[in-house]
């Protein structure tokens, strides 16, 4: 449409110059003026479409106007001008924007005009050379050839453009689906190349680095302290060219490092030698705290399923065994039989405590707000220690050092008793036989500490000390410390462990930090 306007301006200027020189008629100048206005109007408001009928306004204002104007100019030319090359423009227009029949019809129209022009010249000027007919025929043949080739090229180009649009639409849909999936993952996903450029990072990955609101091109993300560590590790993986996995502490702007598990997958895009593409690395990031939480939740779910079986399949037969053993011990027994009944009673009690621990853990409710009851810390701890010593006359000596005079804590009395008894039982069970003693102390801010001597814990035990079913003792259920921590968290307190040395003796200290 722009080319038509340029041609119209040229024709109008040429006819205007010829009119000034007196070598053309005024109506030809007016015809070029109307053609100029028509081409400008079409360029501004209307375009022909491939689906339009042959006599639709779109084609009438473009193709048929061009053929009519160029035919009149060629027929009534003066001054030796030859307008036959202009017929290429409507032929190309019909070939590119219309069907093949319309293109061939435009070429036929231009050929007939040229042959008519040669015939009329022969009539007006008899005896002229037949070269005029030959030139018209050759030009007409060229117009047919242009129509065929241009239409084939336009058809192929249109087909390729349609396929490209379809592929782009599919790629956009797949990209949106991938973006939706990756964005909703709790696992961090980041894609980087060998130059350290970030191709993509989902919100979980941005959060682990310390900026959830980071967006492409991720310059804010690359300015965070953890980026240098992550980028260095990723570049090393790309240099090796193989998948890798490791645990890293990523620094964060808050100063608290994120302990994450990284899994790298190296992807080498398929490309030829002319267009090489560097490998990229897809990094999957998982917060180890989240992993531990999932494991812990799975254990809790398992305990919930087991608790019902424990209550019905173990507790009732165990009660019957204990009662039968008690009745048996009332009879006159020999020393050997008394030892056997004593062993049965002890093991029945131990199994009963294990059942109680499992049921208590399974029945732990969601942590409510701290209760309104307020306890005097020193007095309550002293009473619990005294009761425990009466129940364990053969147990280790316990030394209580009160240091929280006047301090009160918010805690349920029975739950605090359960926590302290669990800690005392744990110290009694794991303390070495040659130095069995337990030291209990309170202090300000409100805290309770239970210490007992003992060798260092194995790393496999220390790492999961407060997890359920974790114990280094074969006769322990591994639930006491877990239950104690859960009860403390219920009231806003915190139970922690630390290996300490007192008077040159290595030992273990469990500290409960209360909320006053």
In a domain, 8, yes or no: no
Tell me the mean pLDDT in the region 210-239. Answer: 86
Tell me the mean pLDDT in the region 185-199. Answer: 85
Between CA 452 and CA 458, with CA 454 as vertex, the angle to 5 degrees is 125
Query: Residue 307's pLDDT is what?
Result: 67
Tell me the mean pLDDT in the region 211-216. Answer: 81
In a domain, 23, yes or no: no
In a domain, 354, yes or no: yes
User: Given 268, 287, 306, which residue is the final one in a domain?
Assistant: 287
Angstrom distances, CA of residue 218 to CA of 56, 211, 280, 326, 514: 53, 10, 17, 73, 43
In a domain, 2, yes or no: no
Tell me the mean pLDDT in the region 119-139. Answer: 69
Is the predicted pLDDT of residue 172 greater than 50, yes or no?
yes
Residues 283, 296: one domain?
no
Tens digit of pLDDT for each residue in 503-513? Answer: 888 888 999 99
Query: Residue 370's pLDDT is what?
Result: 46
Tens digit of pLDDT for each residue in 48-65? Answer: 666 667 777 778 888 888
Is the predicted pLDDT of residue 475 greater than 60, yes or no?
no
Is the predicted pLDDT of residue 473 greater than 70, yes or no?
no
Provide the CATH number for the domain around residue 380: 3.30.565.10
Task: Measure the CA–CA gap between 343 and 329, rounded to whole angstroms.
Answer: 11
Residues 325, 230: one domain?
no
Which residues, other chains included, contact 274 with Cβ-Cβ below 8 Å and sequence gap of 6+?
none
Residue 383's pLDDT band (boundaries 50, 70, 90)? very high
Tell me the mean pLDDT in the region 213-234. Answer: 86
Query: Residue 449's pLDDT is what?
Result: 93
Token pair listed for 2: 């722009």
Residues 379, 502: one domain?
yes
> Is-contact 480 360, C-beta < 8 A?
no
Tens digit of pLDDT for each residue in 437-452? Answer: 889 999 888 899 999 8
Residues 297, 283: one domain?
no
Residues facing 443 on adjacent strands: 447
In a domain, 468, yes or no: yes
Residues 336, 460: one domain?
no
Tell me the mean pLDDT in the region 165-180. Answer: 80
Residue 373's pLDDT band (boundaries 50, 70, 90)? confident
In a domain, 175, yes or no: no
Beta carbons within 10 angstroms of residue 473's beta carbon: 11
Residue with tokens 């303390």: 431
In a domain, 15, yes or no: no
Tens digit of pLDDT for each residue in 8-44? Answer: 999 899 888 888 888 778 888 899 999 999 888 888 8
Residues 212, 331: one domain?
no
Tens digit of pLDDT for each residue in 272-294? Answer: 555 566 788 999 998 888 777 77
Residue 381's pLDDT band (boundaries 50, 70, 90)? very high
Residue 358's pLDDT band (boundaries 50, 70, 90)? low
Residue 492's pLDDT band (boundaries 50, 70, 90)? confident
In a domain, 93, yes or no: yes
Provide the CATH number for the domain around residue 337: 1.10.287
Report CA torsion sign: 335, 341, 343, 345: negative
User: Given 336, 362, 388, which residue is the final one in a domain?
Assistant: 362
User: Given 269, 287, 305, which residue is the final one in a domain?
Assistant: 287
Residues 136, 122: one domain?
yes
Query: Residue 366's pLDDT is what?
Result: 47
Residue 260 DSSP SS3: strand
Tens digit of pLDDT for each residue in 287-345? Answer: 888 777 777 777 767 766 666 666 667 777 888 888 888 888 877 678 888 888 888 88
Provide the CATH number for the domain around residue 237: 3.30.450.20
Query: Residue 374's pLDDT is what?
Result: 86
Query: Residue 470's pLDDT is what?
Result: 59
Residues 265, 396: one domain?
no
Query: Residue 119's pLDDT is what?
Result: 77
Please count the structural domains in the chain: 4
Of 403, 488, 491, the residue nearest 445 (C-alpha): 403
Residues 506, 397: one domain?
yes
Tens digit of pLDDT for each residue in 68-125? Answer: 888 888 888 766 677 888 888 899 888 888 888 888 888 898 888 888 877 776 665 5
H helices present in 54-192, as ranges: 57-59, 65-75, 88-97, 100-124, 131-184
Token pair listed for 208: 């682990």
- The parent domain of residue 276 ranges over 186-287
Residues 406, 504: one domain?
yes
Residues 271, 379: one domain?
no
Query: Residue 474's pLDDT is what?
Result: 47
Residues 246, 318: one domain?
no
User: SS3 for 219-256, per residue?
Assistant: HHHHCCHHHHHHHHHHHHHHHHCCCEEEEEEECCCCCC
- What single DSSP character describes residue 282? E
User: SS3 for 347-416, per residue?
Assistant: HHHHHHHHHHHHHHHHCCCCCCCCCCCEEEHHHHHHHHHHHHHHHCCCCCCEEEECCCCCCEEECCHHHH
- What single DSSP character describes residue 310? I
Least confident interval from 95-104, 253-262, 466-475:
466-475
Please provide the size of the chain in residues: 516
Query: Residue 267's pLDDT is what?
Result: 86
């Amino acid at each position: 449409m722009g080319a038509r306007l340029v041609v119209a301006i040229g024709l109008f200027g040429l006819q205007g110059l010829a009119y000034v020189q007196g070598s053309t008629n005024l109506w030809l100048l007016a015809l070029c003026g109307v053609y100029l206005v028509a081409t400008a109007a079409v360029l501004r408001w209307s375009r022909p479409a491939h689906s339009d009928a042959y006599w639709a306004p779109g084609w009438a204002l473009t193709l048929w106007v061009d053929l009519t104007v160029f035919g009149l100019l060629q027929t009534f030319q003066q001054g030796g001008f030859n307008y036959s090359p202009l017929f290429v423009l409507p032929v190309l227009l019909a070939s590119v924007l219309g069907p093949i029949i319309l293109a061939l019809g435009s070429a036929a129209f231009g050929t007939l005009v040229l042959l008519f022009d040669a015939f009329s010249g022969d009539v007006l000027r008899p005896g002229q050379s037949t070269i005029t007919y030959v030139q018209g025929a050759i030009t007409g043949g060229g117009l047919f050839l242009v129509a065929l080739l241009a239409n084939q090229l336009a058809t192929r180009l249109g087909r390729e453009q349609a396929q490209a649009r379809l592929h782009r639409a599919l790629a956009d849909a797949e990209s949106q689906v991938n973006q939706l999936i990756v964005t909703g993952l709790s696992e961090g996903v980041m894609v980087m190349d060998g130059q350290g450029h970030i191709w993509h990072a989902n919100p979980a990955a941005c959060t682990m680095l310390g900026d959830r609101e980071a967006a492409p091109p991720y310059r804010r993300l690359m300015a965070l302290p953890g980026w240098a560590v992550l980028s260095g590790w990723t570049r090393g993986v790309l240099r090796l060219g193989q998948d890798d996995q490791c645990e890293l502490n990523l620094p964060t702007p808050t100063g608290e490092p994120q302990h994450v598990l990284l899994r790298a997958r190296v992807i080498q895009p398929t490309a030829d030698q002319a267009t090489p593409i560097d490998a990229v690395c897809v990094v999957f990031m998982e917060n180890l705290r989240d992993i531990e939480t999932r494991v812990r939740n799975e254990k809790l779910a398992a305990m919930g399923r087991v608790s019902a079986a424990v209550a019905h399949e173990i507790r009732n037969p165990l009660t019957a065994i204990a009662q039968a053993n008690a009745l048996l011990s009332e009879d006159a027994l020999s020393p050997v039989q008394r030892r056997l009944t004593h062993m049965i009673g002890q093991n029945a009690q131990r199994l009963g405590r294990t059942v109680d621990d499992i049921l208590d853990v399974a029945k732990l409710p969601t942590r409510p707000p701290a209760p309104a009851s307020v306890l005097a810390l020193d007095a309550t701890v002293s009473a619990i220690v005294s009761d425990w010593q009466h129940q364990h006359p053969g147990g280790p000596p316990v030394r209580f050092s009160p240091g929280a005079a006047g301090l009160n804590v918010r805690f349920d009395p029975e739950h605090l008793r359960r926590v302290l008894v669990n800690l005392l039982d744990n110290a009694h069970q794991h303390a070495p036989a040659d130095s069995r003693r337990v030291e209990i102390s309170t202090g300000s801010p409100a805290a309770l500490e239970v210490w007992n001597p003992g060798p260092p814990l194995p790393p496999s035990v220390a790492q999961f000390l407060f997890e359920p079913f974790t114990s280094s003792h074969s006769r322990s259920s591994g639930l006491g410390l877990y239950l104690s921590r859960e009860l403390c968290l219920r009231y806003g307190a915190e139970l922690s462990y630390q290996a300490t040395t007192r008077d040159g003796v290595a030992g273990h200290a469990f500290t409960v930090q209360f909320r006053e």
